[in-house]
């Protein structure tokens, strides 16, 4: 990366990276192991309907998490919908707006009102004090989201749920392999939902899992994910098609085999980013609790425009021009998306921390495809942009909306 800011690609210069550096570029694991499983699956001709690879994946996940039951599903959104239905939630459920839209949609899809609650600006997770203020006679549950894999205020939310007779579940899409007080995420609330989407550090192409220590709930979920079938031609419960395929389970097992390698790469990159971002004024990398287990998947930077002289949005534009596909998270917040924007136009008045954070947060590439040299390029562009923040801001403003 040259020091002359006018060499940036946004001015027509050559991008610092000829290969696009993605947030969430998939980890693949041992390709041969995966292909061996696929060939075995094809030889068996058992492609879906609770095949041996799905059963093995569920068993290995349950062992890793230390939970009694783990149910593999086609994706985490359907998993949330099934858990919500299995717990008979209705009326209103309290959720953060600072999350992926699927958390809210999984409620609205079932005609349950998502009540958006503000977050703690330090943890980026639900603020328990604000949760309690939103409880009404119509409230039946709370969905906490372990954002960036950093656990929610689990004990506080648990006490609130118990005191008000509410169901507590967790969206743990970011938190596979993470722990809280030495206990693996997956063991808290009525159930926790994991995602194995291609963007997650452990992926099954598309997929998810529900972890619970409630045997009765697990039995109900197993019925519901398979149309309510209890046996051949025997439907005993309402259900849907939430089954994971064998090819997805094969990829999930292959990913799990390389889990330590993936986490090691993420941690190595996290330390390198931490070292370099410390030298960039107005930029703060979120920290992980090193006394707990973490997957270190998310490299999240908070940008203070008052110090950097350039906004988070303009930094993302510059990085994109340089083939670094940084992301705004969770922009603009669920409450600014439809149908919630129209249904609750004043929601932002109750979400000041969410409003501010969605303007500050940026996610940078991580994973096994990201090297120290890549991080040097990314942080070099970042640093150069901040050093010339005023000039770049004026230039980008002169170009108008892009």
Pick the range with the lowest mean pLDDT from 4-18, 44-58, 197-211, 312-326.
4-18
Name the nearest CA neighbour of 98 among 26, 163, 148: 148
Do residue 46 and residue 168 come from a single domain?
A: yes
CA 287 to chain centre: 16
Residue 390 domain boundaries? 5-23+259-326+365-399
Residue that finishes a domain, picked among 211, 235, 257: 257
**How much is the pTM?**
0.95
* CB-CB contact of 74 with 208 (8 Å): yes
Q: What is the pLDDT of residue 357?
A: 98
How many whole angstroms separate alpha carbon 97 and alpha carbon 103?
Answer: 9
**Distance in Å from the first CA to the final CA of the chain:** 24
Q: Would you state the pLDDT for residue 183?
A: 98
CA distance 135 to 149: 26
**Residue 1 in this model has a pLDDT that exceeds 60:** no
Instruction: Judge contact between 22 and 378, C-beta under 8 A.
Output: no
Q: What is the pLDDT of residue 401?
A: 67
| Residue 24 confidence (pLDDT) above 90 | no
What's the CATH number where 271 sits?
A: 3.90.1150.10
Q: What's the domain count of the chain?
A: 2
Q: What is the CATH number of the domain that holds 141?
A: 3.40.640.10
Same domain, 64 and 14: no
Q: Choose the weakest-confidence range: 126-130, 189-193, 258-262, 396-400.
A: 396-400
Q: 161-183 as b/e, with b when 16 or more CB fall inside 10 Å?
A: beeeebbbbbbbbbbbbbbbeee
Query: Does residue 296 have a pLDDT over 90?
Result: yes
- When pLDDT is averaged across residues 289-307 and rounded to a whole number, the result is 97
Among residues 361, 155, 149, 180, which one has the least CA distance to residue 267? Answer: 149
Domain boundary among 223, 257, 291: 257
Say if residues 126 and 96 touch (Cβ distance below 8 Å): yes
Q: Is the pLDDT of residue 402 over 70?
A: no
d(CA 281, CA 308): 6
pLDDT tens by residue, 365-375? 999 999 999 99
In terms of domains, do 71 and 218 share one? yes
Of the listed ranges 4-18, 39-53, 148-162, the least confidently predicted one is 4-18
Asked whether residue 321 falls in the same domain as residue 387, the answer is: yes
DSSP of 242-266: -PPPHHHHHHHHHHHHTHHHHHHHH
pLDDT in tens, 50-87: 999 999 999 999 999 999 999 999 999 999 999 999 99
Residue 301 pairs with which residues in a beta bridge?
285, 362
- Of 257, 292, 318, the position where a domain reaches its end is 257
φ, ψ at 337 (rounded to 5°): -110, 160
Tokens of 332: 């603009």
pLDDT, tens digit (0-9, with 9 covering 90-100), for 329-361: 999 999 999 999 999 999 999 999 999 999 999
């Amino acid at each position: 990366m040259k020091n002359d800011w006018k060499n940036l690609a946004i001015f027509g210069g050559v991008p610092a990276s000829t290969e696009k550096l993605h947030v969430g570029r998939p980890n693949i694991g041992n390709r041969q192991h995966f292909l061996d499983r696929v060939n075995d699956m094809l030889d068996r001709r058992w492609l879906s309907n609770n095949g041996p690879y799905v059963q093995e994946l569920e068993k290995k996940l349950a062992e890793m998490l230390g939970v009694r039951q783990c149910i593999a599903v086609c994706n985490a959104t359907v998993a949330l919908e099934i858990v919500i239905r299995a717990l008979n939630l209705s009326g209103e459920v309290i959720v953060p707006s600072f999350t992926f839209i699927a958390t809210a949609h999984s409620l609205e899809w079932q005609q349950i009102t998502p009540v958006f609650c503000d977050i703690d600006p330090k943890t980026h997770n639900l603020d328990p004090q604000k949760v309690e203020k939103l409880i009404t006679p119509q409230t039946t549950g709370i969905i906490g989201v372990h954002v960036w894999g950093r656990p929610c205020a689990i004990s506080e939310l648990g006490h609130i749920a118990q005191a008000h007779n509410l169901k507590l579940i967790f969206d743990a899409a970011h938190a596979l392999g993470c722990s809280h007080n030495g206990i693996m995420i997956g063991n808290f609330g009525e159930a926790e939902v994991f995602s194995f989407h291609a963007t997650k550090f452990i992926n099954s192409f598309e997929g998810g899992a529900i972890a619970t220590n409630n045997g009765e709930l697990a039995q109900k979920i197993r019925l519901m994910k398979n149309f309510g079938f209890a046996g051949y031609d025997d439907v005993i419960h309402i259900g849907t098609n939430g089954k994971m395929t064998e090819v997805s389970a094969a990829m999930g097992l292959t990913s799990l085999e390389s889990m330590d390698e993936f986490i090691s790469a993420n941690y190595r990159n996290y330390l390198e980013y931490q070292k370099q971002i410390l030298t960039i004024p107005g930029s703060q990398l979120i920290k992980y609790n090193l006394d707990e287990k973490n997957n270190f998947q998310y490299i999240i930077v908070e940008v203070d425009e008052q110090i950097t002289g350039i906004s988070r949005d303009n930094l993302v534009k510059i990085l994109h021009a340089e083939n670094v596909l940084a992301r705004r998270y969770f922009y603009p917040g669920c409450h600014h998306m439809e149908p919630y924007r129209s249904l609750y136009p004043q929601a932002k008045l109750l979400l000041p921390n969410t409003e501010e954070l969605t303007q500050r947060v940026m996610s940078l590439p991580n994973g096994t495809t990201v090297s120290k040299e890549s991080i040097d390029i990314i942080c070099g562009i970042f640093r150069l942009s901040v050093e010339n923040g005023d000039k770049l801001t004026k230039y980008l403003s002169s170009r108008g909306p892009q």
